[in-house]
Amino acid sequence: MNIQIKTKSLTALRFEPFGDILDCSGPPDKIINGGYCKRYHNRARLDFNNGEVGISFFHAKPRSLPYEFNMLERHPEGSQAFIPLSPNPFLVIVAQNRNNHPTNPVAFLTKPNQGVNIHRGIWHGVLTPLTEPGIFAVIDQIGQNENLEERWLNFSYEVILP
């Protein structure tokens, strides 16, 4: 049996329990470069042990809707930010935690020119671009500790448009 969930648009209020939206919303914090550039300062709550942070790249195959999933994962060792090298929206699946198991998954569709930072320990789906080329910069923990927990769900979920 598949449980259908409809995508929600990504808003700061809805996403606040799970992470940060990374974008240029609101007024800039500073105008730099002789007026040519707006700086939106320090938009992510980065959270790492001992500053073990790095910039990596993920190149993921695009998925399409309806999108089915039955596994979520979390990273105990730190936050994980995804910045698309494309203005195209992508799918962000997150879930609440109950007894060390993900529950009530929510599927967000980003707006153009947005990334996300998923907070430490938050259950989330694998990276799901919806368009080529599916290339993202990823700012996450790069130390040697095991940093991945995966959970298979009791049901399969199917993400559809509203």
Please report, as ranges, the residues that interact with a second copy according to CB under 8 A.
22-24, 28, 32-34, 36-44, 46, 48, 50-51, 53-61, 63, 81, 83-87, 113, 115, 117, 126-127, 133, 135, 137-139, 142
Burial 122-143 (b: 16+ CB within 10 A, else e): bbbbebbbbeeebebeebbbee
Q: Tell me the one-letter amino acid at 15.
A: F
Q: In terms of CB distance, is 12 or 32 closer to a second copy?
A: 32
Say how far apart CA 125 and CA 106 lie, in whole Å.
10
Q: In terms of CB distance, is 33 or 99 closer to a second copy?
A: 33
Q: In terms of CB distance, is 63 or 74 closer to a second copy?
A: 63
Cβ of residue 148: shortest distance to a second copy, in angstroms? 9
Cβ of residue 162: shortest distance to a second copy, in angstroms? 25
Cβ of residue 54: shortest distance to a second copy, in angstroms? 4
Say how far apart CA 67 and CA 12 lie, in whole Å.
24
Q: In terms of CB distance, is 106 or 140 closer to a second copy?
A: 140
Cβ of residue 129: shortest distance to a second copy, in angstroms? 10
Q: In terms of CB distance, is 87 or 98 closer to a second copy?
A: 87
Say how far apart CA 145 and CA 76 lie, in whole Å.
9
Q: Which CA distances in Å does 17 have to 71, 94, 121?
A: 20, 10, 11
Say how far apart CA 132 and CA 120 lie, in whole Å.
28
Q: Tell me the one-letter amino acid at 51.
A: G
Cβ of residue 138: shortest distance to a second copy, in angstroms? 8
